[in-house]
Structure 1
Amino acid sequence: MTRAEVAGARSSTDLRAVVVDDSQFMRTVIGDMLEDEGISVVETASDGAAGVEAVERHDPDVVTMDLKMPGMDGIDAVEEIMSIHPTPVLVLSAHAADGAELTFEAMDRGAVDFFEKPSGEVSVGIKQQQDRLVETVRSVAAADVSATEAAADHTPTTASVSGPASEYVENPTLLIGSSTGGPTVVEGVLSELPLEADLRILVVQHMPDGFTDRFAERLDSASEYSVREATDGARIGGGEALVAKGGKHLRVSGYGGGRIRVSLSESEPVNNVRPAVDVTFETAAAQIDGPLTAAILTGMGKDGAEGVRNVSGAGGTVLAQDEETSAVFGMPQRAIETGVVDDVRPRDELAAGVLNAITTREQ
């Protein structure tokens, strides 16, 4: 069995974790949160080197990793763990000015996902923090680390279209939805899409506020497209992309002349998340009358399943990432189960799948 299959076969009370943080207080807070929900903390460590040793010693299902630590920091520790004892790692990131950059660097080294550090304050919100942390730890424990390693090691290339092609369709729109393990995959897809495809792109990545702006900057640097974090009332045309802002739903509120207008909303979470893929996909299907393509990538849960039904119902094309290259196959699987997915592709062929969907072919 793979590590992901082993973790998935265990009950939630069987999961074993290593907690790495230089703060004794945070090690206690995080450890107590996990233990209270039946996740066994087999060891805690105060720096990256000790964390790596603990992973080798205990072979845990999951590691929670602080980033800023004396000696070996969390970024180097993630890289070392992936090199000598691949294990799903959840980065616990402080919401600070440089927290997002360090977090994405850790994910580049192979970390599966990240979570904002619990405050540790005794308050009404502490239980909610605990529930979300435990849910995230469990999803990361079930991740296929070989998929996240491969995504981190991926070298971008320009995607090609199979078969004789004449030209791209006019005013195509691409919708992307992803969650656990998604940031590096989204970056790979956008980096391979040529500007001449003239796509309008909306990205919904489950991610908290304070990180989506930096994620948009990374996508902008990695691709030929102009990418920015969505703002209320923003408009985009060909060659532009918006990333849903953390903590807000991204709705398509208008479409005309090849330009998309969006609005942001703090309405109730959908599928327990905000932003939700379903919200963006459903409103896009309702508003956009041009060529529409939707791609569901790696992630836990069912978000996007209803959205792809709407996209398909509006005459759009639906793609899903395959199981082998998904860190967590939940979202793609649920989309595939709807019966409306037109194409299932591995991570390295997703961009080519998008281009195939928006290309007219010679007869």
Structure 2
Amino acid sequence: MNKMVKVLVTDDSLFMRKIISDFLNAHPQISVVATAKNGQEALEKINEFSPDVVTLDVEMPVLDGLSTLENIMTHNPLPVIMLSSTTESGAVNTIKAMELGAIDFIPKPSGSISLDLYKVKEELIEKVLLASTVIPPKKNSQKTERTKSENSKKYLKVFNGKVDNTIIGIGTSTGGPRALQEILCSLPKQTVAPIFIVQHMPPHFTKSLANRLNSVSEITVVEAVHGQKVEKGTAYIAPGGLHMEVAEQFGDLTIQLSETEPFKGHRPSVNKLFYSLSLLRNYKKIAVVMTGMGTDGTDGILQLKKNDESTVIIAESEESSVIFGMPKAAIQTGKVDEIVHLQHVTNTILKYI
């Protein structure tokens, strides 16, 4: 028999607390054991009710969601899911929450008080159940932020500095923002390969993710734009809600974005990106699959290896993955060349450039 998942719902709106609780309680495996109207009350009720999962509104009085999250991760680590508005400030704060240790987030469809929250009901239930399976980080395990040069200095010794035609594709989902920060902040500015990233994330949030990663990385990180020419040493993040493919035109690589149907439930799709990379000739390819739920990227890996057996496939290990779904599916293809802890992904990439 499956264990009942105990949830603490935190939101400054009585209406939102009620509707979120009703949605979750309707699932036979979930029980909302308490609600809180602000972060301070949430911290008190965590001690009282010992929930398995906490949902946190980002914007709250007394103690806001980010401050509450930081307190939880420092003193009593728990799986936390953020509920965020889709405004620019909401997106920025959500990216900060991912850095602080939140497992995932759900955008409120129409602002702080969303009368149409039913649109994300199934997603909310799925993510709460998923979060309950995640082992939270140990107390005080959050790394202090280092300068860009400190992050990348130790990797220069394995970087040969040669200019070649290497291209890198990265696919990730749940837990991806923190994993991407670990990798991109560690790449030295001398990195010559362009990097193409699919992070499962809705529209509006990928721009904030790109801006944040660009501010803490030595390489340039941008949200991809349709038709733009690819530059070496730049990381391109697929915009939420759009597929990203890479094509060669007149000797240059260009970004191709589209709103075609989701591929196996995803848009952007890691598979679509990897398929497009598999068609490029005279390029050395490195494909990386990191933390996330599901199997996105698996078909693309098979196509990459089919078209060029020398393509290097790297999968994040179970030990460091927040969710081991995507890396596990990649490994099961039998085409993965390296299975490494997140802390060693950068070294492994640079070894093959």
* TM-score, length-scaled by structure 1: 0.88
1:98-137 matches, cutoff 5 A: 98-119=89-110, 127-137=118-128
> Residues 65-99 of structure 1, C-alpha deviation per residue, up to 9 Å, x if partnerless?
00111111111111111122211001111111211
Matched with 1:22 is: 12
Answer 1 or 2: higher relative contact order, Cα 8 Å, separation at least 6: 1
State, as a whole percentage, how many aligned pairs show the same letter: 35
Per-residue Cα deviation, 1:288-320 (whole angstroms, up to 9, x for no partner): 530110111111111111122222332310111
1:298 to 291, 295, 306: 291
1:78 and 2:69 correspond: yes
Instruction: For residue 180 of structure 1, report the CA deviation from its aligned partner.
Output: 0.7
1:263 matched residue in structure 2: 256
Q: How does 1:28-67 map to 2 (within 5 A)?
A: 28-38=18-28, 39-67=30-58
Q: 1:332 deviation in Å?
A: 0.8
| TM-score (normalizing by structure 2) | 0.90
Report the residue type matching 1:41 in the other structure.
V
- Cα distance, 1:353–1:149 mapped onto 2, change above 3 Å: farther
Q: State how 1:206-221 maps to structure 2 within 5 Å.
A: 206-221=200-215
1:122-201 correspondence runs (5 A): 127-146=118-137, 150=141, 153=144, 155=146, 156-160=151-155, 167-168=161-162, 170-201=164-195
C-alpha displacement at 1:63, in angstroms? 1.0
- Distance apart, 1:46 and its partner CA: 0.3
Count of residues in correspondence between the two structures: 344
2:274 counterpart of 1:281:
yes
Q: 8 Å contact 2:165–2:282 — kept in the other structure?
A: no
Given that 1:140 and 1:180 are in contact with CA atoms closer than 8 Å, whether structure 2 keeps it comes out as: no
* Structure 2 counterpart SS, 1:196: coil
Secondary structure in 1 matching 2:46? helix
Question: Quick check: 1:174–1:202 contact (8 Å CA) kept in 2?
Answer: yes
Q: Give the deviation of 1:17 after TM superposition.
A: 1.0
Contact 2:73 2:139 (8 Å CA) reproduced: no
Q: Name the CA distance, whole Å, in 2 between partners of 1:280 and 1:254.
A: 14
Give the Cα–Cα distance (whole angstroms) in 2 for the partners of residues 104 and 223 of structure 1.
Answer: 15
How far 1:167 moved relative to its partner? 4.9
CA–CA separation in structure 2 for the residues paired with 1:305 and 1:161: 31
On the 8 A contact 2:100/2:142 being kept in 1, the answer is no
- Structure 1 unaligned residues grouped into runs of 5+: 1-9, 359-363
Q: Which residue of 2 aligns with 1:320?
A: 315
Contact 1:206 1:246 survives alignment (8 Å): yes
Distance 2:254 2:337 in 1: 27
Which runs of no fewer than 5 residues in structure 2 stay unpaired?
none
Do the aligned residues in 2 keep the contact of 1:324 with 1:346 (CA within 8 Å)? yes
Decide which moves more: 215-224 or 200-209: 215-224
